[in-house]
Structure 1
């Protein structure tokens, strides 16, 4: 008869195959075996209680620390890790001391609908992290089921607006006219709108990546998984508008030794958080001074690129590994043109 697997069992624990399933028992030193029943999670807990070592075994707080040591965590991109670390804050405030085996579907639903009702989209990301942690507990024999899979996520409404051309032009021109770092931020916005790249893809863009002879800019595409990570190169054609933008950026390049196209005041590439804070500050100021009629996010510029590209060229650009994602998330056209019979 095949022996039951020992994964998740403590030393001196034994799994025995019975007609009705698998039962567990513990062998204390110099004493008779102790029957633990047929529930593996409860059997482990009984042994730990006997040893006075139950402590924080199987708690979400401990699983979070263990999760960061797994090979799965190491495969995540830096941005994904940072996002999960931000999700862990509010999640651990509620579930840190709770054992994965004790969490039930109503607990997850309450977290999504009540405790995080003011941040429903963010709560979905946090629930995804909780699901990963409970999944780890199941692998370690510290839980039997994942209640997160039984609860529907909060409904997410994708953004439907793209910046109007007059708002985008007014914002970028206003910044460019001020010169200095404000002009750099404005031209970064122009680049995002013209080339359609994500911030993470071009904030560290260097001059050697711009080949003015062949007329191309080469950038590594972000959000690629598995073997494609870091291997998909976007070769962006330098249109007349992009060439004109590059010319203005070169005119601002005081230090010829600086490699970065969009450099901060110290000559380094902008960090993601530093750029985000600066852009938000300038957007608030532009709205207050009525330079634009409505605020927009930097990520909306990617949608602006897709929408304008479709209007001018009649088709969507190749921005995503899945073309359907480009159409669903970034195409915000108000008018759909088609031919009749």
Structure 2
């Protein structure tokens, strides 16, 4: 059943709602229907909004988490998120809505959020933290709309996250890449992308859509936009990755892989249709290949694609004595990506 569309004004009220200050310091709310007289709604903002939604025939699921999720995807906050974050939140919404879709935001308490983190999602504690972050955003929206008074997610401690401590072993990574090189043409592309991540240290989001003009062989640099920049820095930090002999050899093999498929593609790591991989599509392909490699005993232990960035940082430090510039905050590079087990220092 299609319901009347409701629009929230800049002050958090619904469209055609008014807030009128009174001499006693209170604020009275009223609604101006099209072609009708103003309707008094009282001084309680939350109840006033509910009354308007009821008048519009849109109040039966007001403040429900499922409805807030739909509304959140129409906000400027959602549009300002990076594409990868929007994809991640969409995935997070599935288990979250199974529990909270038909529950009103103002009925959820901190104990409910804690139960979700510790019991409902105890098998995936790290993922549960991401889902709680999405839930917190939905509560913020509910508060702006007058559909909740507090955000209980802020009162609950997140599950403890243990950072990964191992980078892929060089021999295991080499065995995996050689195995992929013997696979189909498309699987070779995945292997070349993995090798690029290990050699250049870039995030997936920074190079999955990389195109040939970004590879400047004359200046021996590859230019990409650094991801995860906030505010005015978003998309403005350009990384220039030096093309070393090892990276140059990889670029030559990428060109050879394209010739093998008899196509001149704009993207360095195209999918089978010649387009850039989506984050979800690449993730699915990577998981499939990793499972098969484990089954065929090509490798003994699973590693994530993100671990390849740690492999780069760890190897860079071992070979050059310093960590590379991977993050706006060097402390995060050291904490997340440095997986060296031996620390060298000089005695007096």
TM-score (norm 2): 0.85
Is the alpha carbon distance of 1:15 and 1:293 closer, same or farther for their aligned partners in structure 2, counting shifts above 3 Å? same
The reply to whether residue 80 of structure 1 matches residue 89 of structure 2 is no
Structure 2: 5+ residue runs without aligned partners?
Answer: 1-10, 34-38
SS of the residue aligned with 2:258? coil
Structure 1: distance between partners of 2:103 and 2:288: 40
- Cα distance in 2 for partners of 1:12, 1:201 equals 45
Q: Does 1:132 align with 2:110?
A: no
Deviation by residue 1:14-50 (Cα, 9 ceiling, x = unmatched): 767587x7476879x9xxx9996x7543465477679
**1:203 equivalent in structure 2:** 208
Q: Structure 2 CA distance, aligned partners of 1:249 and 1:14?
A: 63
Aligned-partner Cα distance in 2 for 1:211–1:14: 59
SS across alignment from 1:117: coil
Q: Does 2:346 match 1:333?
A: no
Using the alignment, how far apart are the partners of 2:187 and 2:90 within structure 1?
31
Pairwise CA distance, 1:329: 0.9
- Whether 2:291 is the aligned partner of 1:281: answer no
Instruction: Tell me what 1:3 maps to.
Output: none
1:194-213 per-residue CA deviation (whole Å, 9 max, x = no partner) reads 00011111122222221222
Q: 1:142 aligns with which of 142, 147, 162?
A: 147
CA RMSD of aligned residues (A): 3.0
Counterpart pick for 2:271 among 264, 272, 279: 264
Does the 8 Å CA contact 2:41/2:51 hold for their aligned counterparts? no
TM-score (norm 1): 0.86
Distance (whole Å) between structure 2 residues aligned to residue 136 and residue 238 of structure 1: 46
Q: Which residue of 1 aligns with 2:113?
A: 108
Secondary structure of residue in 1 paired with 2:268: coil
Q: How far 1:174 sits from its partner (Å)?
A: 2.4
Write the distance in 2 (CA, Å) between the matches of 1:49 and 1:151.
Answer: 33
Would the alpha carbon gap of residues 123 and 156 (structure 1) be closer, same or farther in structure 2, given more than 3 Å must change? same
Does the CA contact (< 8 Å) of 2:224 and 2:239 recur in 1? yes
Q: 1:227 aligns with which of 232, 236, 255?
A: 232
**For residues 226-265 of structure 1, what are the structure 2 equivalents within 5 Å?**
226-254=231-259, 255=262, 257-265=264-272
User: How far apart are 1:223 and its partner, in Å?
Assistant: 1.6
Q: 1:267 to 1:44 in 2, by over 3 A?
A: closer
Count of matched residue positions in the alignment of Structure 1 and Structure 2: 334
Return the offset for 1:330. Answer: 0.9
Counterpart Cα distance in 1 of 2:175 and 2:98: 43
The equivalent position to 1:164 in structure 2, one of 155, 158, 169, is: 169
Aligned to 2:315: 308
Q: 1:294 aligns with which of 292, 298, 301?
A: 301
8 Å contact from structure 1 (residues 205, 219) kept in 2: yes
Kindly indicate whether residue 107 of structure 2 is the aligned counterpart of residue 99 of structure 1.
no
Equivalent of residue 319 in structure 1, options 302, 308, 326: 326
CA distance in 2 between counterparts of 1:331 and 1:51 reads: 57
- Give, in angstroms, the shift of residue 234 of structure 1: 0.9
Name which one, 1 or 2, has greater alpha-carbon Rg: 1
SS of alignment partner, residue 234 of structure 1: strand
Deviation of 1:324 after TM superposition, in Å, equals 1.2
How far off is 1:193 after superposition? 0.4
Which of these residues, 206, 214, 218, is aligned with residue 219 of structure 2? 214
User: Residues 209 and 289 (structure 1 numbering): CA distance in 2 closer, same or farther, change over 3 Å?
Assistant: same
Call closer, same or farther: CA 1:53–1:245 in 2, change over 3 Å. closer
